[in-house]
Amino acid sequence: MNIKDIHNVYFIGIGGIGMSALARYFKFIDKNVAGYDKTPTPLTEELAEMGIDIHYVDDIKAIESVFMNSRNTLVVYTPAVPKSHSEYQYFEQHGFEVKKRSEVLGIVTKDSFCFAVAGTHGKTTTSSILAHLLNETGTPLTAFLGGISEDFNSNFLFKGDAFSVVEADEYDRSFLRLYPNVACITSMDADHLDIYGTDDELVKSFKEFANKLQPDGKLFIRNGLPLQGITYGIEDDSDFCIQNLEIEKGTYIFDLCTPKTTLKGVRFNKPGKHNLLNGLVAFAMAIEAGSPLDHLVKGLETFKGVERRFSYMIKNDNLVFIDDYAHHPTEINAVFDAISEMYPNKKVLAVFQPHLFSRTRDFAGAFAKSLSNFDSVVLLDIYPAREEPIEGITSSWLLDMIDNPNKKIVDKSNLIHEIKAQAPDVLVTMGAGDIGLEVSKIKKELEHAN
């Protein structure tokens, strides 16, 4: 498929974070863009403001006629959309070029010097830091991000097409559609077992991804993962290593050791060792674009963050309110560790919305153990996303496993009342579902109360 021959691009599931970044790209290069999604969101509203027509009913008649020409229309879909979707069925049966988002991402980036960020955790933050670093050093890049960068206020950046930054998503084995020049693997914890079945199959897929690199490509591996590559870590013997780590007023200060030199007094402002590791590997990858080290050091310090990745919503003497996308036990542990490091001896309330029935079932014990660490826990109902309910798998079932006397299930309509009643020193909201839509409401109410 040649992008130049495509005049129209139609998205089924256009409101997804990855899909919307691609939609922005095609609009940016002057293609006709339209799409379907299940519900309106702030992301779909932004796309509509760009002139992209979006409808919210699965109906072929709602699609503009210009997109009904199979010779010059590309149809992009997300695996989250069921194959029974009538629009998907129509395009498949009428000779259209129908491709997954990951395939299109591979096609779009194949002629650029491609940086790919893989791992079960940390992809969005790492790729956002990398895009920020490359942008700060004047690199002509296109970035497709899985979250809203606070540095760009977008999940898409276009400053040229010589280099590209993409997230290499393991879900549905999507990352095997990419052929990067430089890649990293941040983590390989068990996840997406609805796709892989076993942890071994997931690891096997990551190894297959590692073999997708270009012949002269470089692979960066977090120290300790069972793969060969350039290693990175904290206070260890990695090729890229952070040493002499200190915390000063919520900022990390450290020495950054590369295979060739040691950079002293480097600063990074995102809490959590997991974020520090993300920053380190982004720094190491950015060197491969020829970026000057002094500019990269400055870029690390000025990185603002990603929406819903340990994002401070309120930060004052009375209350700290943090919002995070954490939806896996390892991620919840990382959030807990970061809060404990930055706010020792503070009363912490965790509000968690489980994401997917299958993930809740597969990791229930680990979720319960992670959530038990907080002083108080509030669970919302499970967010189903692409799944149908699984009998017996509920938030009540998960709640019973949590070893914490301060635990309860709350309906979203009563959430703000419950938070105010508990009056925590630190509030953290976590989850990958629609809990993110509650955050601004919570912030508004708590700011008013304070």
Return averaged pLDDT per consecutive 10 residues of the chain, 450 residues in all: 86 94 95 95 93 96 94 92 92 94 90 93 94 96 94 95 90 78 88 60 85 93 93 96 91 96 96 93 97 96 93 92 94 94 93 96 96 98 91 96 96 96 97 91 86
β-pairing verdict for 141-149 and 218-222: unpaired
Please report the pLDDT score of residue 220 as a whole number. Answer: 98
Q: Please report the domains of the chain, with CATH numbers, ordered by start residue.
A: 3-100 (3.40.50.720), 110-302 (3.40.1190.10), 311-449 (3.90.190.20)
Closest-CA residue to 187 (of 119, 266, 249): 119
3-state secondary structure of 251: strand
What is the C-alpha separation between 364 and 368, in angstroms, rounded? 6
Q: One-letter amino acid identity for 291?
A: S
3-state secondary structure of 171: helix
Residues 6+ apart with CB under 8 A from 185: 118, 119, 206, 209, 210, 219, 220, 221, 222, 225, 227, 229
| Strand partners of residue 355 | 383
319 vs 422: CA distance, rounded Å:
12
**pLDDT value for 195:** 62
Three state DSSP letters for 25-51: HHHHCCCEEEEECCCCCHHHHHHHHCC
What pLDDT is attached to residue 92?
95
Binding site, annotated residues for ATP: 119-125
Residues 278 and 125: beta-carbon distance below 8 Å: yes
Binding residues: 119-125
Q: Determine the pLDDT at residue 408.
A: 96
The C-alpha atoms of residue 43 and residue 54 are separated, in whole angstroms, by: 11
Q: What are phi and psi of 79, to 5 degrees?
A: -60, -15
